[in-house]
Structure 1
Amino acid sequence: MGLQETFPAYGGRGPGDLRIGLGLGAVATIFMILRVYVRLRVNKFGTTALIWALIAWLLTTITQCFGIISILHGLGNRIAVVEATGQLGNYLLFTWITVFFFNMAIPTGKVAVAAFLIEMNSQSNPKTRRSLIVVAALNIILSIPQILLAWFQCSPPDALWDPLRQGQCHHETSVRYSYFIGAVAALSDFYLAIIPVTMLAPLRLGRKLKWGLSFLMGLGVFAGAAAIVRSWAAKFILSDDPSYGVGILFRWGEVEEWIILISMSIPPVWPLFRPLTRHFIKSSNFSRSPDNYNGYNKYASMRGDLATSGQTPVVTTTISISSNKGPAADAETVRASSSASSVTRFDEEEAETPHTILSGPGGPEGWVEMSHYKKHPQ
């Protein structure tokens, strides 16, 4: 027995929306499980970002569940079919419940991404940290009117899901605000996708590694594109065939939600995929010619004092993809763990305190680790 026999209003765009949502949702759920596993068994950092990600996943899952119920009752199908099958009331009720949770899931996902990037940035760039906080706060604050408008666009509010009282509803304000909040969401997605690239660009990494990490952490641009399309599709709420047109809005909305969760979960689970991509994890920090390092025979002090020769400091970056638990490695451990991907080893020199991305003070190694070295006067 097919779904259409059990749910006669099921059809149109609904089956396609259902498959896309369940497919992306399954992928995102797998990544979230892996992310929790990494946090519990591999790396003891990223707790705040993980909590926000789990909240976003929960809200998105609830949205998807009510979206499935809405699809079974006519979302994505022609309004004439929905009316003929007597499912218009159920379609309205479950669709607006879906919209309610969707309006909470979208900004929460943005906050989860911002929290992850804040932990990645640590204290290395205060301006970037502040901008990420602003992006997260704006998405939460500006989403509140959208959440409330979903329930107060009809007078009385229960007319929202009553087919006989749709004339008492005024959706124009909600749709216009949808254009605005959709633009904010798209710009936020683009910004959150570009920021990791700017963090990685100055680092002396292998080209393949740098481009690979930039691509994985920049997948949020697809969520931004989806936000633009679903904002455009909000106009179908006012059309003569809203159930069919809103199927477009729902499809791109679920794509946006799940892509955000998937893209933010790839970097934290990187330690699990390290063995599969070992030949890409190379550092281009040092030249293969030892003659280039004749002058690097001593590091500057922990205070960062330079010798009187006035030489400009040179920063060398070491990349370490960590999968070890435990406290942060000291300078000797850092050099030892990164020697496999470095050509030259500085056994007689004292390194400065390493700065670890995605790790708090006293925490374990992160998935990208930077040790700063300064040139000794010759």
Structure 2
Amino acid sequence: MSTGASQPSQAEMGAMLSLAAYAAPPIVPKGLALTLIVVVLVTAILATIIIALRVYVRGWISRSSKVWGWEDTFAILGYLAFLCSSIFAIKAAYYGLGTRDDDLSNVLMVRCAEYMLYSQVLYGISMPLVKASVVFTLVRITTSKKYLWSLYAMQALTTIMAAVGILASLLYCRPTKAYWNPLLGTCGNFMIVVNIGYAWTAVGIVTDWACAILPYLIVRNLQMSRRSKSTVMVILGLAAIASTATIVRAPYLQYYLVEKDRLYWNGYISIWCQLESGIALIAACLPALRMLFRKYFEDSQNSSKANGKKQTSGNRNIGGSQLSIPMGNLSSAGKVAEVGGRWKRLGDDNSSATHITQERTISIETESMSDEELHHHMA
């Protein structure tokens, strides 16, 4: 009769490993892990400010015009997915993401891999949503069928590729929990996931550059000033900046297959994924903020004009010229003390019918003059 205890099964050992992983305290991030946290936090804060301004402009300032559209809804959904992805990336950094294997235990690696998977899946959800915001912004300003079909095809390709990547990550191990705890199941050939990652990267680069080129093709024939066209092209073309992060991230995909320091190298991948998503989101929101900047500058100009008017009083119009008569220092002679003028150009920068007018200001200083004397002097 055997008196020794029976060995636990693989499932039981996996369950014990999970319990130990959730009981383990986080580490103090250093080096790359700390850099990851700082970069993700800064990007998330900037994206939060920009998306809040977008909601303020589209939902409050423009509420009477009812301009809220699909591009705004997709931007909000993309931001929520990006924010959740950033949170899980930071949590992963506290359990080993961006840290060398020598400073980690198997228990910490299990917890880190779980959060890392959540972050990657949410990143995969955020990118097609953010791209949809850019696409529907461009759809608003074009009626050309060839551009519309190009935009819809680009969005469909991005969405399909993201769906394939997400499913590949979730179905790579059965059950999915085996992705971070190998004792709970079995996993397939990870090379398939890596190849999908390369294809996803290529599609991202192509669609980012398409989002940069199409605004030029769409806006160039619109009836608007050259300066306005340039502004719209630059703002909408900023989405191409996100492709820089995609290109930089591409060489790091090979480290998905390494055995040593895999979580450390995945820290670089997470940094560039979050930068790509955050920059794309900010660029997608900038076109909606043009109204806010325009309103700010108009309010500043109106305030300056109002302050200028307060400095003079007793204004009278004579023969179409504006007379500004200060009431402080009046002289009996009633002489003209100052005559000033400035030239003003009417019309925008590209107007073919530009007119030149002159604004003249004549200040008359008087003292103790009655209305009759003033009328006689003016006559």
Task: Check whether TM > 0.5.
Answer: yes
1:244 aligns with 2:231: no
Question: Could you tell me which residue of structure 1 aligns to residue 82 of structure 2?
Answer: 60
Give the one of 74, 77, 82 matched to 2:99: 77
CA-CA distance at 1:166 after TM superposition: 9.2
Matched residue of 1:150: which SS? Answer: helix
Matched letter for residue 56 of structure 1: G
1:171 aligns with 2:236: no
Name the % identity: 26
Question: Could you tell me which residue of structure 2 aligns to residue 90 of structure 1?
Answer: 111
Contact 2:81–2:125, Cα closer than 8 Å, also in 1: yes
1:13 aligns with 2:12: no
Question: Matches of 1:60 and 1:76 in 2, distance apart?
Answer: 20
| Distance change (3 Å), C-alpha of 1:88 and 1:169 | farther
Give the one of 109, 131, 134 matched to 1:113: 134
Question: Could you tell me which residue of structure 2 aligns to residue 131 of structure 1?
Answer: 150
1:36 aligns with 2:55: yes
Question: Could you tell me which residue of structure 2 aligns to residue 310 of structure 1?
Answer: none
CA-CA distance at 1:170 after TM superposition: 2.6
Matched letter for residue 95 of structure 1: M
Question: Could you tell me which residue of structure 2 aligns to residue 300 of structure 1?
Answer: none
The number of residues matched between the two structures is 283
Per-residue CA deviation, residues 26-53 of structure 1 (Å, 9 max, x unaligned), is 1111111111111222332142111111
Matched letter for residue 227 of structure 1: T
Question: Could you tell me which residue of structure 1 aligns to residue 236 of structure 2?
Answer: 217
1:229 aligns with 2:294: no
CA-CA distance at 1:199 after TM superposition: 2.4
Question: Could you tell me which residue of structure 2 aligns to residue 258 of structure 1?
Answer: 278
5+ residue gaps, structure 2: 1-24, 302-346, 358-379
Matched letter for residue 48 of structure 2: T
Question: Matches of 2:182 and 2:98 in 1, distance apart?
Answer: 17
Matched letter for residue 171 of structure 2: F
TM-score where L is the length of structure 1? 0.69
Question: Matches of 1:48 and 1:205 in 2, distance apart?
Answer: 24
Question: Could you tell me which residue of structure 2 aligns to residue 162 of structure 1?
Answer: 181
Question: Matches of 1:269 and 1:56 in 2, distance apart?
Answer: 17
Identify the range of structure 1 (204-213 vs 156-165) with the bigger mean alpha-carbon deviation: 204-213
TM-score where L is the length of structure 2? 0.68
Matched letter for residue 90 of structure 2: I
| Distance change (3 Å), C-alpha of 1:174 and 1:155 | same
Contact 1:11–1:74, Cα closer than 8 Å, also in 2: no
Which is helix-richer, 1 or 2?
A: 2
Contact 1:205–1:283, Cα closer than 8 Å, also in 2: no
CA-CA distance at 1:12 after TM superposition: 3.0
Matched letter for residue 42 of structure 2: G
Per-residue CA deviation, residues 192-241 of structure 1 (Å, 9 max, x unaligned), is 12211222333465555443332222111110121122233221111222
Contact 2:92–2:116, Cα closer than 8 Å, also in 1: yes
1:101 aligns with 2:118: no
| Distance change (3 Å), C-alpha of 1:16 and 1:208 | farther
Question: Could you tell me which residue of structure 2 aligns to residue 50 of structure 1?
Answer: 72
RMSD (Å), alpha carbons: 2.6
- Larger RCO of the pair (alpha carbons < 8 Å, separation 6+): 1
CA-CA distance at 1:104 after TM superposition: 1.2
Question: Matches of 1:166 and 1:74 in 2, distance apart?
Answer: 22
Question: Matches of 1:205 and 1:82 in 2, distance apart?
Answer: 60
5+ residue gaps, structure 1: 1-5, 291-342, 345-378
Contact 2:169–2:193, Cα closer than 8 Å, also in 1: yes
